[in-house]
Amino acid sequence: MPPTLETLMSRLRLRQLRLLMALDECGSIHKAAEQVGISQPGATRALNEIESTLGASLFARSARGLETNDLGRCVVRYARLIQTDVAHLREEMIGIQQGYGGHLAVGGTMGAIATIVEAIVKVRAEQPSLSLQVIEDTSIGLLRLLDQGRIDVALCRSNFGRRPGDYHSHGNFPEPLWVVANPHHALAAIEEPDFTTLARQAWIVYPVSMPRMLEQEFVAAGLSQSVQSIEISSTYAILAMLERDSGVLALLPEGIAREQVGRGRVGRVNYRFRTPNPAFELLWRRDRELSPAARRFIECYDAEER
């Protein structure tokens, strides 16, 4: 039976987690002990204590040394996350004590990243020592990171969360969509292509909401055929796919699409997508106080969007 949270909080120590990471990296008690700065018997004793607390073995022992098992990999992964959080804690403490710096983690969906960067640049100009993290993900992924405390603020859609009321919602930012393709795609040269022609193509879409919107567009056009969709959650990968495959279409947020059309990387297909794309919001947890850096980011984002 897994230990209770109270047991873990009272018995696990940061030094033990550091040892687990060293064991995973070195595969040897002797080398891990040297890396952490303790004796080999001390490392063996500490590992036994950890496994006793967790009620399970974390490593397979063999003549070649230690190999992390499935449970061990899970624990080591969280040990690394805790190490990162402690590093962020230290940075933020230094920033508060010295009146500058700190840590800011912001997440956004594909269409929000460009405006996030503009606001981040403003914040950085004022606080050059600020430690920054910017994450692109789907709304579901970003809300999960918010809930875990991994990011301070997210630009996404609260309706994808299990409990939208858990978040402060600020602003309502529309995200119109363009249909784009490789500049050499035949449809990029047609003045007014009909959707029946477009429907025969393969479509690259951002996961979760865009596949549904594309299906709704098919239904609105009276088409019963299935959608040929390729789901990609990376802006770079979408653009790379369009550059290399002249036979696919993609749905991109207007801001990204306009910039890439201007650079000649993609061509716009002159079709007005009728299914509305829900606006995104600035979200943060109601049960957590925003850091000064996060509050300043929101102010800069507001100014950028006006």
Helix (H, G, I), strand (E, B) or coil at 133: strand
> Residue 154: its pLDDT value, please?
96
What's the rounded Cα separation, in Å, for the pair 31 and 48? 17
Terminus-to-terminus CA distance in the chain, angstroms?
Answer: 55
Helix (H, G, I), strand (E, B) or coil at 214: helix
The two tokens of residue 17 are: 């987690």
Has residue 273 got a pLDDT over 90?
Answer: no
Helix (H, G, I), strand (E, B) or coil at 225: coil
In percent, the amount of the chain with pLDDT more than 90 equals 47
186 assigned to some structural domain: yes
> Residue 76: its pLDDT value, please?
93
Q: How open is the CA angle 285-291-297, to the nearest 5 degrees?
A: 90
Has residue 90 got a pLDDT over 90?
Answer: no
> Residue 278: its pLDDT value, please?
81
116-156 residue pLDDT tens: 998 999 999 988 888 899 999 989 999 999 998 889 999 99
Q: Which of 167, 169, 160, 115 is nearest to 138 (CA)?
A: 160
14-58 residue pLDDT tens: 999 999 999 999 999 999 999 999 999 999 999 999 999 999 999
46 and 73 assigned to the same domain = yes
117 and 264 assigned to the same domain = no
> Residue 37: its pLDDT value, please?
92
Specify whether the CB–CB gap between 103 and 69 falls below 8 A: no
In percent, the amount of the chain with pLDDT more than 70 equals 98
Instruction: Answer with the one of 53, 81, 109 that is the final residue of a domain.
Output: 81
> Residue 198: its pLDDT value, please?
85
What CATH number corresponds to the domain at position 24? Answer: 1.10.10.10
> Residue 100: its pLDDT value, please?
62
Specify whether the CB–CB gap between 180 and 261 falls below 8 A: yes
What CATH number corresponds to the domain at position 132? Answer: 3.40.190.10
Please give the mean pLDDT across all residues of the chain: 88
225 and 249 assigned to the same domain = yes
What's the rounded Cα separation, in Å, for the pair 59 and 27? 9
Give me the mean pLDDT over the 191-218 stretch.
85
233-272 residue pLDDT tens: 888 999 999 999 988 999 998 889 999 999 999 999 988 8
66 and 143 assigned to the same domain = no
Question: What are the two backbone dihedrals, phi and then psi, of residue 179, each rounded to the nearest 5 degrees?
Answer: -95, 125
- Domains in the chain: how many in total? 3
* Cβ atoms within 10 Å of 55's Cβ, excluding its own: 10
pTM for this prediction: 0.66
Give me the mean pLDDT over the 57-65 stretch.
88
186 and 253 assigned to the same domain = yes
| Least confident residue range of 68-82, 104-118, 133-147, 212-226 | 212-226
67 and 216 assigned to the same domain = no
> Residue 306: its pLDDT value, please?
63
Residue type, 84: T
> Residue 241: its pLDDT value, please?
94
What's the rounded Cα separation, in Å, for the pair 100 and 45? 42
Question: What are the two backbone dihedrals, phi and then psi, of residue 283, each rounded to the nearest 5 degrees?
Answer: -125, 145
DSSP 61: E
288 and 163 assigned to the same domain = yes
**What is the extent of the structural domain holding 252?**
177-269
Has residue 208 got a pLDDT over 80?
Answer: no
Ramachandran category for residue 171: left, alpha or beta (phi over 0 → left; psi -120 to 50 → alpha): left
117 and 260 assigned to the same domain = no
> Residue 258: its pLDDT value, please?
92
30 and 164 assigned to the same domain = no
Specify whether the CB–CB gap between 36 and 21 falls below 8 A: no
> Residue 70: its pLDDT value, please?
94
What's the rounded Cα separation, in Å, for the pair 131 and 60? 38
Laid out side by side, the sheet with 248-253 consists of: 229-231, 202-205, 248-253, 177-181, 267-269
Specify whether the CB–CB gap between 50 and 32 falls below 8 A: no
> Residue 289: its pLDDT value, please?
86
Give the dihedral sign, CA 111/231/146/81. Answer: negative
How crowded is the C-beta side of 3, counted as CA atoms within 13 Å? 15
125 and 162 assigned to the same domain = yes
Give me the mean pLDDT over the 106-111 stretch.
90
